[in-house]
């Protein structure tokens, strides 16, 4: 017998379930893509035409970086439709908003109310706003507001160092989030390090253990994403006794580094190894004391070379004192890109991995 109330109940229940599923689908984003060192600038075509040289002068120039490394390798410049169709899932995005294009930007401005947008546009002072995971997972947006293309140009040029700093921080943040979401098969090594040393580092699953000895680990990853430019990433983790604060000075860090490379990572030719370069041919060596997740650490960015062999690459090394164990926990990531331009962004992956040390 036909039961109107019962069937109506099931119809409503099914309808609610259907739309709940559709809503859930809309909120399920894919992972952001894009190589480290790629910046995507979104705006209307007129703004891109007016600011093309400005982009190149700021984001592809060494003038703001004492290490002689451009902030970005490439700057993608899609207009609004191109971005929504093809570039929506890029990792690091800068949105240039002005009076002429803000209505066309549509969902890209969904984090803001209309009156907020208009106030930001009409403000004479620098207005930067951020948003995360707007159209993909592990994605970072930075918004710059201006009254016109010329106003945006002026604000970019006057505040370029601060804007670059925020964009690089956003890029690192997006990479760290992506690594944290990596259900790594290497978690056993983190647990092992944590148990032995009181601190560990989460090595992404794309890295394979190549060598392990007493208080020493070597992981490597082969990257063939660019067939003509294959490269190898390496991660070294090792410990040694803490003496005093001189363990943090550059000479001592370099001496220990070269010693461990000589004995544990020998080169293909007998007697060779990855020694620390002191040549001014490479970008400036940078040493600083930092706080890494509550630990006092020395951070060194420099280059390695192999004497008599045409190979070289950048490395990033953290030297951390673990007070409870009275040991030095050393973490280093390096990149091997033989015979390539020394201006390299891949070290940013190493920087992101280092942030998992805890």
Using alpha carbons, select from 254, 258, 260, 220 the residue that is nearest to residue 240: 260
The three-state secondary structure class of 306 is strand
Give the per-residue pLDDT at 25.
42
Distance CA 190, CA 323 (A): 19
- Say which residue, 208 or 20, is predicted with more confidence: 208
Give the per-residue pLDDT at 231.
83
Query: Is the torsion defined by CA of 28, 34, 36, 39 positive or negative?
Result: negative
- What average pLDDT score do residues 201-219 get? 94
- Say which residue, 84 or 180, is predicted with more confidence: 84
- What average pLDDT score do residues 37-56 get? 95
Give the per-residue pLDDT at 131.
96
- Say which residue, 43 or 311, is predicted with more confidence: 43
Between 36-45, 51-60, 68-77, 99-108, the lowest mean confidence (pLDDT) is in 68-77
Give the per-residue pLDDT at 28.
63
- C-alpha 105: how far from chain center: 26
pLDDT band per the 50, 70, 90 thresholds, residue 66: very low
Between 97-106, 153-162, 242-251, 304-313, the lowest mean confidence (pLDDT) is in 304-313
Mean pLDDT of the chain: 86
- What average pLDDT score do residues 22-29 get? 51
- What average pLDDT score do residues 113-137 get? 95
- Say which residue, 100 or 278, is predicted with more confidence: 100
Give the per-residue pLDDT at 9.
55
pTM over 0.75: yes
Residues of each domain in the chain carrying CATH 3.30.379: 38-180
- Asked if residue 57 has pLDDT above 80, the reply is yes
Give the per-residue pLDDT at 26.
42
- Say which residue, 224 or 91, is predicted with more confidence: 91
Q: Where are the alpha helices (DSSP H) in 140-249?
A: 149-158, 160-180, 187-197
Give the per-residue pLDDT at 1.
46
Give the per-residue pLDDT at 8.
55
Residues of each domain in the chain carrying CATH 3.40.1000: 187-354
Architecture of domain 187-354: 3-Layer(aba) Sandwich (3.40)
What is the CATH number assigned to the segment(s) 38-180?
3.30.379
- What average pLDDT score do residues 297-313 get? 85
pLDDT in tens, 172-196: 889 888 887 776 778 999 999 999 9
pLDDT band per the 50, 70, 90 thresholds, residue 18: low
Give the per-residue pLDDT at 194.
95
8 A C-beta contact, residue 316 and residue 333: yes
Distance CA 318, CA 301 (A): 9
Give the per-residue pLDDT at 67.
45
pLDDT in tens, 241-296: 999 999 999 999 999 999 999 988 877 777 778 889 888 877 778 899 999 999 99
- Asked if residue 24 has pLDDT above 50, the reply is no
Give the per-residue pLDDT at 177.
86
Which residues partner with 92 through β-bridges? 140
> What's 339's DSSP letter?
T
Tally of CA atoms within 13 A in the half-sphere of 257 that contains its CB: 32
Longest dimension (CA), the chain: 92
Tally of CA atoms within 13 A in the half-sphere of 42 that contains its CB: 29
pLDDT band per the 50, 70, 90 thresholds, residue 162: very high
């Amino acid at each position: 017998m036909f039961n109107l109330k019962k069937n109506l109940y099931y119809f409503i229940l099914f309808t609610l379930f259907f739309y709940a599923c559709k809503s859930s689908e809309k909120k399920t984003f894919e992972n952001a893509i894009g190589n480290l060192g790629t910046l995507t600038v979104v705006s209307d075509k007129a703004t891109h035409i007016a600011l093309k040289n400005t982009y190149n002068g700021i984001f592809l120039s060494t003038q703001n970086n004492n290490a002689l490394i451009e902030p970005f390798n490439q700057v993608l410049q899609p207009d609004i439709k191109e971005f929504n169709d093809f570039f929506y899932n890029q990792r690091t995005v800068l949105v240039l908003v002005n009076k002429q294009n803000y209505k066309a930007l549509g969902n890209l401005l969904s984090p803001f109310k209309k009156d907020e947008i208009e106030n930001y546009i009409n403000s004479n002072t620098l207005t930067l706003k951020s948003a995360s995971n707007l159209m993909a997972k592990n994605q970072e947006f930075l918004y710059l507001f201006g009254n016109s293309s010329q106003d945006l140009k002026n604000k970019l040029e006057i505040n370029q160092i601060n804007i670059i700093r925020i964009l690089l921080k956003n890029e690192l943040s997006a990479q760290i989030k992506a690594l944290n979401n990596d259900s790594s098969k290497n978690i056993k090594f983190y647990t092992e390090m944590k148990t032995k040393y009181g601190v560990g580092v989460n090595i992404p699953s794309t890295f394979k253990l190549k060598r392990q000895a007493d208080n020493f680990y070597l992981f490597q990853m082969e990257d063939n994403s660019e067939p003509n430019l294959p490269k190898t990433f390496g991660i070294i983790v090792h410990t040694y006794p803490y003496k005093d604060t001189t363990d943090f000075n550059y000479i001592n860090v370099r001496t220990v580094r070269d010693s461990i490379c000589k004995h544990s990572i020998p080169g293909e030719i007998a007697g060779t190894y990855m020694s620390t370069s002191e040549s001014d041919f490479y970008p400036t060596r940078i040493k600083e004391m930092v706080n890494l997740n509550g630990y006092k650490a020395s951070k060194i960015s420099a280059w390695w070379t192999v004497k008599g062999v045409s190979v070289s690459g950048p490395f990033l090394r953290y030297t951390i004192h673990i007070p409870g164990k009275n040991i030095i926990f050393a973490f280093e990531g390096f990149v091997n890109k033989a015979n390539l331009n020394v201006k390299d962004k891949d070290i940013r992956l190493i920087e992101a991995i280092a942030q998992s040390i805890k």
